[in-house]
Structure 1
Amino acid sequence: MTTRAELTEKIVAHKTFNDIKWADVATAVGQSKEWVTAALMGQISLSKDQIEKAGNALGLNFSDEETALLMTVPYRGSLPSAVPTDPLIYRLYEVISVYGTTMKTLIEEEFGDGIMSAIDFTMDISREENPAGDRVKIVLDGKFLPYKMY
Structure 2
Amino acid sequence: MSLPEITQTLLKAKKEKGLSFADLEKILGRDEVWIAAVFYRQASASEEEAKLLLEALELGPIYIKELTECPVKGLGPIVPTDPLIYRFYEIMQVYGFPIKDVIQEKFGDGIMSAIDFTLDIEKEADPKGDRVKIIMSGKFLPYKKW
Same fold (TM over 0.5): yes
Answering whether residue 19 of structure 2 is matched by residue 20 of structure 1, we say yes
Aligned length: 144
Contact conserved, 1:25 with 1:58, CA < 8 A, in 2?
A: no
Q: Where do 1:106-121 residues align within 5 Å?
A: 106-121=102-117
1:32-59 Cα offsets, whole Å, 9 max, x none, are 1111111121011111110111112222
1:47 counterpart letter in structure 2: S
Q: Where do 1:68-87 residues align within 5 Å?
A: 68-77=65-74, 79=75, 82-87=78-83
Q: Distance in 2 between matches of 1:145 and 1:126?
A: 26
Q: Where do 1:1-150 residues align within 5 Å?
A: 5-63=4-62, 66-77=63-74, 79=75, 82-150=78-146
1:51 counterpart letter in structure 2: A
Contact conserved, 1:126 with 1:136, CA < 8 A, in 2?
A: yes
Q: Name the % identity.
A: 44
RMSD: 1.4
Q: Distance in 2 between matches of 1:115 and 1:83?
A: 23
Contact conserved, 1:26 with 1:54, CA < 8 A, in 2?
A: no
1:121-141 Cα offsets, whole Å, 9 max, x none, are 000001001111000000110
Contact conserved, 1:127 with 1:135, CA < 8 A, in 2?
A: yes
1:75 counterpart letter in structure 2: V
Task: Show structure 1 runs of 5+ residues with no match.
Answer: none
> SS in structure 2 opposite 1:148?
coil
1:85-127 Cα offsets, whole Å, 9 max, x none, are 0000001111111000110010011111100000000000010
